[in-house]
């Protein structure tokens, strides 16, 4: 059976990087779901920090260096793509946007894409919906319903299940979000329609504001 091609794009700048860590976990969960259906997967990771100079040169000259060309081909030739960016100033990083600026705007049409991001606070999680999802909708990709955001506190509270969305929020804990998003991506790669789960409880905005007020 022909292997599916899964490309993971990480825009993390540090080493080690929580952005790369989240990317790896999403890839592992997706591969695990596909393996359960008997589908082999070839995973290729694109680290944008290693391509920063090539991306800048391409924006000026219009010609990609060999390493950048290989990365672009890995993304545009994939059956599915996972993208993860740190959130800077309430949006994706400049490096992340610049990479997708040098890709032909029609190259991802019809490609399933899982969007994810990391940041210092859960307040920036809406960047997934007001920045990343519109970007990939413009590129005509098929964006999976569940986007995954990992704030700094998610990594420490994950094991105990007391993260910012674990109690009453629609997102669930980080592991749950990863599992659900990966399952949706795997389903699209297998030709299954994506479904959106209704949250168990919608927390009223007034209650959310009250939780932020100092006692």
Read off the pLDDT of residues 98-117 as tens digits, 9 standing for 90 and up: 999 999 999 999 999 999 99
Instruction: Give mean pLDDT, residues 119-145.
Output: 93
Q: Determine the pLDDT at residue 33.
A: 95
Nearest to 178 by CA among 192, 191, 165, 193: 165
49-53, 56-60, 119-123, 131-135: the lowest-pLDDT one: 119-123
In whole angstroms, give the CA distance from residue 147 to residue 99: 20
Nearest to 27 by CA among 84, 68, 75, 94: 84
pTM value > 0.75: yes
Nearest to 20 by CA among 10, 29, 28: 10
Average pLDDT, the chain: 86
b/e map 178-199, b = 16+ CB within 10 Å: bbbbbbbbbbbbeeeeeeeeee
pLDDT band, very low/low/confident/very high, at 159 (cuts 50, 70, 90): very low
44-53, 106-115, 158-167: the lowest-pLDDT one: 158-167
């Amino acid at each position: 059976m022909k292997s599916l091609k899964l490309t993971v794009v990480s825009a993390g700048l540090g080493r080690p990087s929580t952005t790369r860590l989240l990317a790896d976990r999403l890839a592992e969960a997706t591969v695990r779901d596909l393996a359960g259906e008997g589908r082999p997967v070839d995973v290729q990771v694109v680290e944008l920090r290693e391509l920063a100079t090539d991306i800048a040169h391409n924006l000026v000259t219009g010609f990609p260096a060999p390493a950048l060309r290989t990365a672009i081909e890995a993304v545009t030739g994939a059956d599915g793509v996972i993208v993860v960016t740190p959130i800077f100033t309430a949006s994706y990083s400049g490096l992340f946007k610049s990479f997708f600026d040098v890709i032909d705007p029609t190259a991802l049409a019809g490609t399933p894409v899982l969007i994810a991001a990391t940041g210092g606070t859960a307040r920036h999680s809406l960047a997934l919906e007001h920045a990343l999802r519109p970007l990939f909708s413009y590129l005509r990709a098929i964006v999976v319903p569940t986007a995954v955001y990992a704030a700094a506190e998610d990594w420490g509270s994950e094991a105990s299940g007391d993260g910012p969305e674990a109690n009453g929020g629609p997102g669930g804990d980080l592991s749950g979000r990863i599992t659900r998003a990966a399952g949706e991506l795997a389903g699209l790669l297998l030709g299954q329609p994506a479904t959106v789960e209704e949250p168990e409880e919608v927390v009223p905005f007034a209650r959310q504001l009250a939780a932020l007020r100092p006692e």
